[in-house]
Chains A and B, each alone.
Chain A
Amino acid sequence: MDYITACDTDIGISKKINQDSVCVKTANTATGKAALVLVCDGMGGLSRGELASAEVVRSFAEWFDAELPFELPDWDWKTAARNVISRLRRLNAILMDYGAHNGIQLGTTATGLVAVNNGFMTFHVGDSRIYRISDKLSQITDDHTFVNRAVKMGKMTPEEALTDPRRNALVQCIGVTGEVAPEVRLGTFEKNTNFMVCSDGFRHVLTEKELFEELSPEKTPDRSAMKSQLRRLIETVKSRNENDNITAALFRAEL
């Protein structure tokens, strides 16, 4: 078994700073393979969004390097899930405390995947997304947005949600909301299945058909192809006048 992964990020056409952060790590370990894929989208309307996203990415990257190697011999997915939730809540408290002391508000989404051998866990707070791409494309995270919640409660139609001025308002993210309830899912890898993690800037102006066609396992046989397909889509997004920062990461377990 092997893990193949790639990522790319772009400031976009109108922002002065890229507030997104991204991390992809894979490792050979004494007990097999391990990987971390994480995209954090610092809040555009908030001060220091790039600092918030950087801190979350650094925290998980340091966990992967310094703690995960020693957790692997006794790896248990339920414990890992609890630890990820605790880490996200701790980061939320740290960012809120920093904001309160400096009179600013900073926040970020946090959406990622941890893989150990043929098992995986996704974790998610905010409106970044994870898609599973095999013979079809499916979104496996739920947007933590005001409009998505309204649609689920039957107070708004999906069509209304697309144009509602509150469509970017989050009901939870790291660093702003007092409590965060991260969405965590466990699973087992299947053959010929890509996982794509992206910020909202990457997906706003792309159709699901385009995502499926350009990021399918067949179109991304190796790391180099993954990288070039991501860049190609980023350039498409820019040509369609997307205003946000643009970030995406792609991952596949080769069984």
Chain B
Amino acid sequence: MTRDELLVIAAAAAAFVIINIIMWSIIAKKERKAKGIAAAQDVSAEDRVNSVPAAAAAEGFELIDNIVIVHTTDRII
């Protein structure tokens, strides 16, 4: 095997390794993103709010029952 042939094989191997690294880092990034969404789904935080002082802003407005039960702490709004 000549020196040139060895260089071509080395270059091809290097290109193969680089392409693999790029490909697997893209896959890993996508998996992390997907896991982020899935992990948030597993959060089961039951949030029971029993007092909201904002309601007291209006004169004569007094909360008697005040139960809000949700199962995530994430917010969109």
Contacts and interface: CB of A to CB of B under 8 A. Distances in A.
Given A30-B61, A54-B72, 18 more contacts: A3-B64, A11-B44, A17-B43, A18-B44, A23-B68, A26-B63, A28-B64, A30-B60, A31-B60, A50-B70, A50-B71, A50-B72, A51-B40, A55-B75, A59-B77, A61-B52, A62-B54, A65-B54
Interface of A, helix, strand, loop or mixed by DSSP: mixed
> Which 9 A/B pairs are nearest by Cβ-Cβ distance?
A69-B58, A30-B60, A54-B70, A69-B61, A65-B55, A26-B65, A21-B70, A26-B64, A50-B71
Given A17-B44, A65-B52, A57 B61 contact: no
Interface of B: 37, 40-44, 46, 49, 52, 54-55, 57-72, 74-77
Contacts of B67: 7, 22-25
Contacts of A21: 68-71
A58 B63 contact: no
Contacts of B77: 55, 58-59, 94
Interface in A57-77: 57-59, 61-62, 64-66, 69-70, 72
A22 B55 contact: no
A27 B41 contact: no
A200 interface: no
Given A59-B77, A66-B54, A70-B58, A51 B63 contact: no
Contact of B69 (A16, A22, A31, A35): A22
Contacts of B66: 25
Given A26-B65, A50-B72, A66 B41 contact: no
A47 B52 contact: no
A22 B65 CA distance: 13
A62 B70 CA distance: 14
A240 to B, nearest CB: 23
A55 B58 contact: no
Contacts of A5: 65
B6 to A, nearest CB: 47
Nearest to B74: A51
11 contacts: A5-B65, A17-B44, A21-B70, A22-B67, A24-B65, A24-B67, A29-B61, A50-B70, A50-B72, A55-B75, A72-B61
Given A17-B71, A21-B69, A27 B76 contact: no
Contact of A25 (B65, B70, B71, B75): B65
A27 B69 contact: no
A9 interface: yes
A189 to B, nearest CB: 17
Contacts of A100: none
A64 B64 CA distance: 12
Contacts of A102: 37
A27 B61 contact: yes
A29 B60 contact: yes
A141 to B, nearest CB: 21
